[in-house]
Amino acid sequence: MKPQAVIFDLDGVITDTAHLHFLAWRQVATELGIGIDEAFNDTLKGISRPESLRRILRHGGKEGVFTQAECDKIAARKNALYVDSLQTLTPNAVLPGIRELLQALRTERIKTGLASVSLNAPAILQALQLTPWFDFCADAAQIQRSKPDPEIFLAACRGLDVNPRECIGIEDAQAGVEAINACGMRSVGIGVNLTGADLLLPTTECLTWSRLSTFWQHDK
């Protein structure tokens, strides 16, 4: 017995661009007179850009200070800084074990999907030379509700034409694990500070098809 599909988050699972996000947000926050550190940035994992900005403004006591148009402009500046930093990404930035897992899933004829709220996900996959390994990538531009809402994972399932209850979702963020659980998928968390994951692994190096297969069969 095998899952119909394995659906991945991007940042922190396929590659780690969290630090690039942090540098961009920190620059924008500093320009607004708000200080953030990497610990605060961790709370933004899996959160959309508009919601991340709202949290930063709230953190700095400036929620409600800017109009929607001004917030859109601030978010666009952050994205421009981040996109510029993506030029440093190469295939070497794929996290350990991920390329081998994708190859194994292809051999097992298990569909693969991407459920990332990043509008830059297609460009990142291309920079990592992983685009051909994914059967479907949910379009973040069509998503109305950010994680922990399950919308993007359900969109990935529809795109792959699979039943969520017959799939595995992989996340490194608490909001992402909650989103996976909310749509009835089996959840795999990467990291040590997550709660609620059906399977918790410390790093992507532990994320092998053998481990996922054992987990799936036992869980069923």
The residues carrying an active-site annotation are 9, 11
Non-local (6+) Cβ contacts of 129 within 8 A are: 91
Are 200 and 38 within 8 A, CB to CB?
no
Q: Tell me the C-alpha distance between 152 and 219, whole Å.
A: 24
Non-local (6+) Cβ contacts of 80 within 8 A are: none
Tokens for 125? 């996959």
Tokens for 17? 């661009």
